[in-house]
Amino acid sequence: MPAITTNDLKNGITLELDNGLFTVVEFQHVKPGKGGAFVRTKLRNLRNGNVFDKTFNAGVRVEQAILDKRDMQFLYKDGSDFVFMDTESYDQMHVAPTALGDAANYLTESMMAIIALYNGDIVSVEIPASVELSIAETEPGVQGDRVSGARKPATLETGLVIQVPLFVNIGDRVKVDTRSGEYVTRV
């Protein structure tokens, strides 16, 4: 592990602290008029996504974690596991849904994802900010029921249920924001 000082911190750097892996979301180097300098940071826990504040004295050594990020293609679902293929080596990897987190709700066959590994364990999965999915099941909109902003539940091809406008029907393709899980537009 390369040891760096807190003066070298930048947004996006992954640190290995005593209680896990954390990504620097934000940092600020503070030099008060009296006393020693310090670095105020916001860290995101890579295991559960929690964000918290932590203050370090300036010049303190911390361990930088080197993540192995790979472009992988989602092939198919094998039971409860998701099977990905490394696009460079063509090796296949079985991934549990818990390691994917919310990304599992948006994966369709042949979709690309960036998987970050640390010591062989999956730390994070990055998918596009929005995806196009088909509506598998929804109630038909009632003629004349055009209240502005009215919504109805719809089940996507991946099994995720989202709220869509009344005019969306079964078989329509919709764009969904993967960060919030909300309907964006009909495609």
The string of DSSP codes covering 89-106 is T--EEEE-HHHHGGGGGT
Residues 178, 141: Cα–Cα separation, whole Å? 25
Tokens of 28: 């600020």
Predicted local distance difference test score (pLDDT) of residue 146: 64
All domains in the chain, ordered by first residue? 3-64 (2.30.30.30), 68-126 (2.40.50.140), 130-186 (2.40.50.140)
For residues 155 and 105, the answer to whether their CB atoms sit within 8 Å is no
pLDDT in tens, the chain (187 residues): 578 888 888 888 889 888 788 889 899 998 988 888 999 999 988 877 788 899 998 888 988 888 888 999 999 988 888 999 999 999 998 888 888 888 888 988 899 999 988 888 888 888 999 999 999 998 887 666 666 678 889 999 989 899 998 888 899 999 999 888 889 998 8
142: which DSSP letter?
P
Predicted local distance difference test score (pLDDT) of residue 44: 87
Predicted local distance difference test score (pLDDT) of residue 7: 84
User: 127: burial class by Cβ within 10 Å (0-12, 13-18, 19+)?
Assistant: buried
